[in-house]
């Protein structure tokens, strides 16, 4: 478990590739993803992007809107935000 006030975020390989895509192709979306990551650390289940729990095979994961088309998908475990996707729809 992270120390108090220690923000811990982990990206899956796919999520990091997604983020790098945004950095190279659409800075505005990359900045939105960065804001969502920061918000996810502060308040994992509330805040920007309309956080909502996913169901069925993705139960335990949460989703936030990046754009109309793209979603930020993550899971919170032991106080850590684990990002699994930040491009496309789940």
Q: Considering 6, 31, 77, 89, which one is annotated as catalytic?
A: 89
| Residue 58 DSSP class | G
Q: Which of 4, 52, 69, 70 is catalytic?
A: 52
**Angle of helix 13-25 versus helix 27-42 axis, rounded to 10:** 140
Each residue's pLDDT tens digit, 30-48: 999 999 999 999 999 999 9
Annotated catalytic residue 70: no
pLDDT at 51 over 90: yes
Domains of the chain, start order: 9-85 (3.30.2310.20)
Which one is predicted more confidently, 1 or 21?
21
**Distance in angstroms (rounded) separating the CA atoms of residues 44 and 2:** 15
Burial bucket for residue 23 (CB in 10 Å: 0-12, 13-18, 19+): middle
Residue 5's pLDDT band (cuts 50, 70, 90): low
- Determine whether 89 is an active site residue: yes
CA–CA–CA angle 90, 14, 45 (5° rounding) = 55
Q: Which tens digit of pLDDT belongs to each residue from 61-89?
A: 999 999 999 999 999 998 899 999 999 98
pTM: 0.88
């Amino acid at each position: 478990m992270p120390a108090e006030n220690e923000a811990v975020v982990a990206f899956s390989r796919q999520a990091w590739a997604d983020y790098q895509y945004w950095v190279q192709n659409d800075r505005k979306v990359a900045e939105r993803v960065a804001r969502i990551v920061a918000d996810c650390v502060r308040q994992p289940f509330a805040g920007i992007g309309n956080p909502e729990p996913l169901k069925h095979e993705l139960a335990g994961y949460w989703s936030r809107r990046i754009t109309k088309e793209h979603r930020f998908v993550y899971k919170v475990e032991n106080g850590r935000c684990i990002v699994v996707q930040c491009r496309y729809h789940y």
